Amino acid sequence: MTLEGLAGRLRRWLYAAGTRQDRLRDPDAVIAVLDLRPGMVVGDLGPGAGHFTLRLARAVEPDGVVYALDASQSTLDDLRRAADERGIATLRPVTVNRDRLEIPEPVDVLFVSATYHHLPEPSKYFAEARTHLRPGARVAILESRREGLLAGWLAPHASSPRRVLREMTDAGYRLIATHDVVRGYWFGQFELA
């Protein structure tokens, strides 16, 4: 093994988590993984500033819909303005409770980026979310990796991939793919089991 490979292994052993910059560096690579088509209905849980959301909204144009599902009204107001400035008509902001998903209609894809760790009881949340999914729908979770000896202290905004897998399995989902496209992040897609 090269010195570089050894250093990478050591780093992951001590601390494996990605930063915000890591996540936002190549948003098109993240969107490409989702394999979206015009006309699809997508939910973006916790859209934040909309770095991914606006691209999702473009990907389903002209007749699809992206529901931006956030607990923060001001976040959604900013996002609405950003969509309007860009002439994006496929975005629908929806204010949601922190512990329960609500979407005006079932979705083909539910995208959850850097938001999983905010959910109070993920297993319960995603078990209840099953009714908001269309047949064949996917739940895509992009989450900073809380792995390594120091990650518990250094990566508060992260989750252990093992825990995500266990909780999603408990909620009634099956992992169908993982994607190594964002440094320090676990990116997995689930369907109903």
Ligand X SMILES: C[S@@+](CC[C@H](N)C(=O)[O-])C[C@H]1O[C@@H](n2cnc3c(N)ncnc32)[C@H](O)[C@@H]1O
Among 18, 43, 47, 93, which residue interacts with ligand X (rule: CB under 6 A)?
A: 47
Tokens of 179: 């994607």
| Residues 85-124 as x/- pattern, contact with ligand X by CB under 6 A | -----------x-x--------------xxx--xx-----
Nearer to ligand X, 70 or 167 (CB): 70
Footprint (CB under 6 A) of ligand X, residues 123-152: none
Q: How far is the CB of 13 from ligand X (least distance, A)?
A: 26
- Among the listed ranges 32-40, 64-72, 85-93, 185-193, the one in contact with ligand X (CB under 6 A) is 64-72
Nearer to ligand X, 100 or 174 (CB): 100
Is there a contact between 101 and 125 (Cβ–Cβ < 8 Å)?
yes
Helix axes 161-170 and 122-129, enclosed angle (nearest 10): 50
Q: Identify the bridge partners of residue 178 per DSSP, sorted by sequence position.
A: 188
| Residues 26-45 as x/- pattern, contact with ligand X by CB under 6 A | -------------------x
Q: What is the C-alpha separation between 50 and 99, in angstroms, rounded?
A: 21
Burial of 45 per CB tally in 10 Å (0-12, 13-18, 19+): buried
Burial of 58-77, coded b for 16+ CB within 10 Å and e otherwise, reads bbbeeebbbbbbbeeeebbe
Among 46, 93, 161, 184, which residue interacts with ligand X (rule: CB under 6 A)?
A: 46
Q: Identify the bridge partners of residue 142 per DSSP, sorted by sequence position.
A: 113, 187
Nearer to ligand X, 45 or 59 (CB): 45
- Let me know the angle formed at the C-alpha of 114 by 66 and 122, rounded to the nearest 5 degrees: 90
Footprint (CB under 6 A) of ligand X, residues 158-187: none
Q: How many residues bind ligand X (CB under 6 A)?
A: 18
Binding site for ligand X (CB under 6 A): 23, 45-48, 51-52, 70-72, 75, 96, 98, 113-115, 118-119
